[in-house]
Amino acid sequence: MTLNKILAFDALTCALMGALLILFAPALAAWLGLPRDLLFYAGWLLIPVALFMALLARGTPPWMGGVWLVILGNAGWVLASLAILPVTGPNLLGAGFVLVQAGVVACFTMAELGAARRFAGVAR
């Protein structure tokens, strides 16, 4: 898969998760045992990030400085997701939710990292 396609898919999933968190924060908070405000504001954080990724994905080639920013941001998201578990004390479903979404973001991070390295090797 090309770097542009990975970025586009990451942007789509990021936007969908953002919308889910914004629209359903109260219900998700009750089901997951996570703070409503954490879910709500995390959702709002994802919307401009998704837009940034979508714009990067349209570039031919994508701006590599932005790609590295996305990779670092995704890695930070994974670390922050793991850090909130002991702080927020979610229920079992909430812990699973946090771990699964962190795993998905970690997969995007690794895919983008691999594609960026391949792209940099081709660009030389």
> In whole angstroms, what is the distance from residue 22 CA to residue 8 CA?
21
Stated pTM of the model: 0.92
Question: For the chain, what are the domain ranges?
Answer: 3-123
| Long-range CB contact pairs, 89-96, < 8 A, 24+ | 89/33, 90/32, 90/33, 90/34, 91/32, 91/33, 93/31, 93/32, 93/33, 94/31, 94/32, 94/33, 94/34
**What are 14-57's pLDDT values in tens digits?**
999 999 999 999 999 999 999 999 999 999 999 999 999 999 99
